[in-house]
Amino acid sequence: MSSITHRWWLLRGCRNHTTLLWQRLGKREYAIAVAGFTVVILTFSFIISSDSSSSDDDRFSVTGFTDFVPLTFLHNAAQRGAFADGSGFSPGSGFESGLSTFSASDCLDGSVPAYHFQKGFGSGSRRWVLHIEGGGWCNTEASCAFRKTTALGSSKYMDHQVQFSGILSGDQFHNPDFYNWNKVKIRYCDGASFTGHPESEQKNDTKLFFRGQLIWEAMMDELMSIGLSNAQEALLSGCSAGGLATLIHCDDFREIMPKETRVKCLSDAGFFLNEQDVAGNATIQSFYDDVVHLQGAAGSLKKDCVAKMEPSKCFFPQNFVKSINTPVFFVNPTYDFWQIKNILVPGPADPRGHWHKCHLSIRNCSPEQIEVLQGFRNSLLKALSEFQQMKDVGMFINSCYIHCQTWISETWHGPNSPKINNKTIAEAVGDWFFERKQTSKSAPAMQQVSIGTGSD
């Protein structure tokens, strides 16, 4: 396919929301991988926060419900490991305000982890969908120290309420299969996709808490106590770093659930490639190596993978997906703009800024740059093809220039959403989760895989 023809396919059906999302990023040079994506999260956080300050009438859809959901601090963060002085939780300890200096499961700054919960109703009262927030990683003490001054490292800076949309939407029109389920948004504040271990804290003098694994365990304990343990069906999902966390903890999630519960996992933009950048440097491999060693993440990674290769390589899904026993669905754009900016063309690999305009919009890319992007696309498809025939694996791989797609209503399910085989992401995920028969002759049986270069 020529670069001109491929450019047309790339833009078709993705022309509005995808380029807008990238333009919201602003102009950022690559310093650490987390920096660029933090801008995205903070930008959307600001938009949501701004919306939440509007009139009450604006907060309700035409169906009369609100999708603005309050923040809940993890009640069992202190009790799970007790305070360092052995006193356990006590009134006035700071827990009420989101500060828990000595709790076992802490954000980077020592504050209490948090989540947003919306109770299900009707047929969804015993069904749960969990969504893990994304937001990159921190790979040095300095970057983690900066991160703890943001909502991605401290619950003190998290919005008191957020709007649920996409897969978490309570609007049946935008979320036909999961609208009335119990819905949870798990906030991300550890900087290592919920894999950090406190033993590694002895290495730093910056009062950083590396307790992602403990946050995960405490979070699951609390959700089980409020009804997850009685779930008939449960879907664990996540975006970006949260999509990676979903894959890492997918089997852990299956293990804590009752055997009779239908449990599956959905990773959105969490399939990060171990590819060299345009200058031939192993930028992302080096970055992940720093993350894993700094936070002692090896203990949370797949044991059979760690036994065969360096632990940091087991941060790449292509090296451990075959070890996941729970059904998994992948949603990924082949032109993932976060991976393009931070893995394929990070700032140091483009010192003269030849890729700057291309980063802002794929319409600005030269034919030569399109060829490079197509090579990255082919690498992703090749990596995914190894799992295409695995039992219970589903995929929705489109060619949009975007990053996450499941938590945004416009891309999840709507009139202008990306489609493959005439199905939106929501419809494809629903068919896979509920194992619905396909009506389209062009659709693979049981929606095992949906890979396309367009979105008509």
CB-based contacts of 208, cutoff 8 Å, min separation 6? 108, 109, 141, 144, 145, 148, 201
CA–centroid distance for 405 within its chain: 10
CB-based contacts of 254, cutoff 8 Å, min separation 6? 263, 325, 326
Tokens encoding 59: 């907060």
Q: What DSSP state is assigned to residue 89?
A: -
Closest CA to 111 of 159, 162, 151, 142: 151
Residue 72: phi and psi, rounded to 5, are -120, 125
Q: Which residue matches tokens 């065969």?
A: 308
Tokens encoding 146: 């900066």
Closest CA to 418 of 371, 366, 455, 388: 455
Q: Which residues are catalytic?
A: 240, 336, 403
If one counts every other C-beta atom within 10 angstroms of the C-beta of residue 27, the result is 8
If one counts every other C-beta atom within 10 angstroms of the C-beta of residue 222, the result is 22
Cβ atoms 377, 336 nearer than 8 A: no
Closest CA to 167 of 218, 136, 123, 132: 132
Q: How far apart are CA 64 and CA 67, in angstroms?
A: 10
